[in-house]
Amino acid sequence: MTAIRRFDVSDSAIEAAAWLMRNGEVVAFPTETVYGLGADASNPAGIERIYKAKGRPRHNPLIVHVSDVEMARRMAHFNPKAELAAASFWPGPLTLLLPKREDSGLATAVTAGMKNVAIRFPSSSIAQRLIRAVGFPVAAPSANRSGKVTSTRFAEVARQLEGRISGIVEEDTCDHGLESTILSLVGSPTILRHGSVTREALEALLGPIDEDSAPQKVSAPGQLKSHYAPEAAVRMNVDRPSGNMVWVGFGPESEGCQFTLSSSGDLHEAARNLYAVMSEADAWAGPSDVIAFAPIPLTGLGWAINDRLRRAAAPRPA
The residues that touch Mg ion, with contacts defined as CB under 5 A, are: 142
Interaction of residue 137 with ligand TXA, rule CB under 6 A = no
262 binds, among ligand TXA, Mg ion, none (CB under 5 to 8 A by kind): none
In the complex, minimum distance from the CB of residue 284 to ligand TXA, in angstroms, rounded to a whole number: 25
Query: What are 29's strand-pairing partners?
Result: 36
Residue 141 in contact with ligand TXA, rule: CB under 6 A: yes
- Does the footprint of ligand TXA cover residue 117 (CB under 6 A)? yes
Residue 152 interacts with, from ligand TXA, Mg ion, none (CB under 5-8 Å by kind): none
Q: With CB under 6 A as the rule, give the number of residues binding ligand TXA.
A: 26
Does 198 contact ligand TXA by CB under 6 A? no
Assess 160 for contact with ligand TXA (CB under 6 A). Answer: no
C-beta neighbour count of 239 within 10 angstroms:
8
Span interacting with ligand TXA, options 157-165, 213-221, 240-248, 255-263, rule CB under 6 A: 213-221
Of the two residues 14 and 118, which places its CB atom closer to Mg ion in the complex? 118
Look at the alpha carbons of 71, 60, 80, 124 in this order and tell me if their dihedral is positive or negative: negative
Q: How far is the CB of 290 from ligand TXA (least distance, A)?
A: 25
Binding mask 280-309 for ligand TXA (x = CB under 6 A): ------------------------------
* Least spacing, CB of residue 220 vs ligand TXA, in Å: 4
Angle made by CA atoms 274, 277, 279, in degrees to the nearest 5: 110
Secondary structure (DSSP) of the chain:
-PPPEEE-SSHHHHHHHHHHHHTT--EEEE-SSSEEEEEETT-HHHHHHHHHHHT--TTS---EE-SSHHHHHTTB---HHHHHHHHHH-SSSEEEEEEBPTT----GGGGTT-SEEEEE----HHHHHHHHHHTS-EE--BSS-TTS---SSHHHHHHHHTTTSSEEE------S-SPPEEEE-SSS-EEEE--SS-HHHHHHHHS--EE-S-TTTSS-GGG-SS-S--SSEEE-S-SS--TTEEEEE-SGGGTT-SEES-TT--HHHHHHHHHHHHHHHHHH--TT-EEEEPP--SSTTHHHHHHHHHHHHSPPP-
| Of 42, 43, 67, 111, the one binding ligand TXA by CB under 6 A | 111
Query: Using the rule CB under 6 A, is 279 a contact of ligand TXA?
Result: no
Residues 18-37 that bind ligand TXA (CB under 6 A): 31, 33-34, 36
Taking the least distance from each CB to ligand TXA, the nearer of 224 and 238 is 224
Residue 148 lies near ligand TXA (rule: CB under 6 A): no
Minimal CB distance residue for Mg ion: 142
Please choose, out of 198-206, 215-223, 247-255, 269-277, the segment that lies near ligand TXA by the rule CB under 6 A: 215-223
Residue nearest to ligand TXA (CB): 222
CB of residue 90 to ligand TXA, shortest distance in Å: 13
Distance CA 135, CA 224 (A): 33
The answer to the question of residue 147 lying near ligand TXA (CB under 6 A) is: no
- Looking at residues 173 to 192 of the shown chain, list those that interact with ligand TXA (rule: CB under 6 A): 179-180, 182
Distance between start and end Cα atoms, the chain: 31
- Between CA 126 and CA 225, with CA 59 as vertex, the angle to 5 degrees is 85
Contacts with ligand TXA, residue ranges (CB under 6 A): 31, 33-34, 36, 60-63, 95, 97, 111, 114, 116-118, 120, 140-142, 179-180, 182, 219-222
